[in-house]
Amino acid sequence: MNKAIELRSKYEHFRILIIGRANAGKTTILKKVCNSIDDPEIFSPSGEKIDISTVQESSERGLHDIEHQLMFKSNPQFIFHDSRGFESGSVDEMEAVTSFITERAKSNELSEQLHAIWYCLPTDTDRPLLEADQKFFNEYGCGRVPIVAIFTKFDALVSKAFGELRKELHQGQVHSVKAARDKKTERAKAKLNTNFIEPLMATMFRPSGHVQLCDMQKEKSNCTELIEKTAEVLDDETLKLLFVSVQENNVKICINYAIINQCLIKYFLKNSM
């Protein structure tokens, strides 16, 4: 049997841990990836559906279970695990995350392993990398699990850059509002590189890749770049095939990787009719 078809008949899910501070845009990203307007359903590790109100009550009490499995009806082939960010400086939270990563790595079953990590870092802040972020990337790492750093809310960084340029306009350093508008994205990218990307990529266990997302609140926005980057950093061909086959919203990436493995074309066409 062709490898990809055999793989999809044996493994139905691709498992991702998403890490991020409060209001980093994690839920919005997951909805975009799965093309959903609804919140995910939540399941226990054994597959039992959990009442969403129970989860909300736990969150209000400061409790959080990284083992919960988040799935969207629109694309149930993805299993997500959600971790709070480390902004509180909680040692317990960091230990819970690293323990989760370690335990998943011990499994001999591909379906139970953690396949990728999405680490969300909002750019609408004056605190680019918290001490806990530095600690995670310098001391803990994630073994062989690839990490994609997601710089969210880039549009807010662009707005901030435009505000700076407007001030420079009043000081005579910028010639016109149009000039400020033309330079705002370039200024924002420079800030992103200096304040976020360079410090992160200088860590001992730096991420495998990174993307920037903006205007995610807009209806037509998407996570195409994130999907493509995730496929790119997967160095295991089996996982790459699994990831490409379970994501349903990016026709381009399915076709691109199908060129490498022709059976994916048959699989994709069959399941998109």
Instruction: Identify the DSSP state of 151.
Output: E
CA dist 119 and 138 (Å) reads 14
Q: Return the closest-CA partner of residue 227 out of 203, 244, 206, 207.
A: 244
> What value does the mean pLDDT take over residues 100-117?
90
- Residues 81 and 69: beta-carbon distance below 8 Å: yes
- Residues 163 and 112: beta-carbon distance below 8 Å: no
Within a domain: 245: no
Mapped onto helix, strand or coil, the DSSP state of residue 127 is coil
Within a domain: 86: yes
Within a domain: 270: no
Q: What is the tens place of the pLDDT at every residue in 217-244?
A: 888 888 889 998 999 999 887 788 888 8
Within a domain: 136: yes
Phi-psi region at 160: left, alpha or beta (left = phi > 0; alpha = psi -120 to 50): alpha
Within a domain: 241: no
pLDDT at 78 over 60: yes
Q: Where does the chain have alpha helices with state H?
A: 3-10, 26-33, 52-60, 91-106, 131-135, 154-170, 177-192, 198-201, 224-233, 237-246, 251-260, 263-272
Mapped onto helix, strand or coil, the DSSP state of residue 77 is strand
CATH of residue 45: 3.40.50.300
**pLDDT band at 1; cut points 50, 70, 90:** very low
pLDDT at 30 over 60: yes
- Residues 59 and 73: beta-carbon distance below 8 Å: no
State the total domains in the chain: 1
pLDDT at 192 over 70: yes
Q: Which domain holds residue 102?
A: 13-218
pLDDT at 129 over 70: yes
- Residues 41 and 31: beta-carbon distance below 8 Å: no
Beta bridge partners of 71: 41
Residue 166 burial (CB count, 10 A): 15
Within a domain: 128: yes
Structure confidence at residue 189 (pLDDT): 94
Q: What is the tens place of the pLDDT at every residue in 131-144?
A: 888 888 998 767 78
The dihedral built from the CA positions of residue 164, 166, 168 and 171, taken in this order, carries a sign that is negative
Within a domain: 80: yes
In the chain, count H helices and then E strands.
12, 8
Distance between first and last Cα of the chain? 22
Within a domain: 173: yes
Residues contacting residue 55 through CB under 8 Å, at least 6 positions apart: 42, 68
Instruction: Identify the DSSP state of 111.
Output: G
